[in-house]
Amino acid sequence: MTKPPDFDRHPELRPGWDRRQFIRSAAVGATIVAVGGALLRVAADDLTRSARAEDRPDGRKRLPPGQRVLEFLRPMGGQEGDGEAKTWKLKVHGAVAAPFEVDYANFLKLPQVTRTADVHCVTGWSMLGGLWKGVQIKKLAELAKIKDTARYVILEAAHGFTANVPLLEAFADNALVTYRVNDKPFALQHGAPVRGLIPDLYFWKSAKWITGLKFVKNDEPGYWEERGYHNHADPWKQERYG
């Protein structure tokens, strides 16, 4: 390291010295950031290659085509709910014999499960092996005494957002109304306090800031479906757009 001048004797040299030190520090910082980013890319590439070599129990590849693995959920925007557990409620209604509404405290008293699930965003990233905790959608349907006529569930969320899901995917063992991932509560940007989880469809179907489940006989395309996205959204078929 270069020895600094004697600023007591030559104070006029300090501004130039400070500028040089700032530029040097910035260059070092940029190098560190660049190296760190490269390491993250290498790690993601390794995870992606590994996942592409794995098969699911149903015979499909673990990683759908066109996807790249990330270690964490990526914020994807949306009009946020208030994020407050104390004001949150879930309404379960529609083609059911016993509709009900539950607040956060009583939601936690419902039968809880923890499930491992991968999620796949339509933009091309996937997060694998997340540990999600919540209540199965099929259990909520059972508690509401779903009618035989129901064929879909509409995930209702803050500000009128909806996502339509066939019961085949909604009643999967790892399809949840969830409030924890990897033992941590969701950040507001990821749907706090509670969000949906439909792992076998593109991630926009896993509505954030969820407020209701409406079971219906006839399909009701949701917010993104009405704006050109695919009505079903199977990642393995790359059903991105309608």
Helix, strand, or coil here: 125?
A: strand
Beta-carbon contacts of residue 3 (< 8 Å; ≥ 6 apart): none
pLDDT over 70 (residue 68): yes
CA 7, distance to chain mean position in Å, is 55
Percent of the chain with pLDDT over 90: 80
pLDDT over 70 (residue 43): no
Percent of the chain with pLDDT over 70: 82
Quote the CATH superfamily of domain 68-237. Oxidoreductase, molybdopterin-binding domain (3.90.420.10)
pLDDT over 80 (residue 14): no
Cβ proximity of 120 and 169 under 8 Å: no
pLDDT at 45: 84
pLDDT at 40: 45
Residue with tokens 């039968």: 111
137-164: per-residue pLDDT in tens?
999 999 999 999 999 999 999 999 999 9
Cβ proximity of 107 and 90 under 8 Å: yes
pLDDT over 90 (residue 37): no
pLDDT at 46: 85
Count of other CB atoms within 10 angstroms of residue 172: 20
pLDDT over 50 (residue 31): no
Mean pLDDT of 36-60: 77
Please give the mean pLDDT across all residues of the chain.
88
Mean pLDDT of 169-188: 98
**Strand pairing report for 68-70 and 125-136:** parallel
**Cα–Cα distance for residue pair 173/123, rounded to 1 Å:** 25
pLDDT over 90 (residue 51): yes
Beta-carbon contacts of residue 197 (< 8 Å; ≥ 6 apart): 117, 119, 132, 134, 174, 175, 176, 177, 178, 206
**Cα–Cα distance for residue pair 146/98, rounded to 1 Å:** 8
Beta-carbon contacts of residue 88 (< 8 Å; ≥ 6 apart): 81, 103, 104, 193, 194, 211
pLDDT at 15: 54
Beta-carbon contacts of residue 104 (< 8 Å; ≥ 6 apart): 85, 86, 88, 89, 193, 194
Q: Name the residue type at position 85.
A: A
pLDDT at 47: 86
DSSP bridge partners of 212: 91, 156
pLDDT at 195: 98
pLDDT over 80 (residue 185): yes
End-to-end CA distance of the chain: 61
Query: How many residues are recorded in the chain?
Result: 242
pLDDT at 204: 98
77-96: per-residue pLDDT in tens?
999 999 999 999 999 999 99
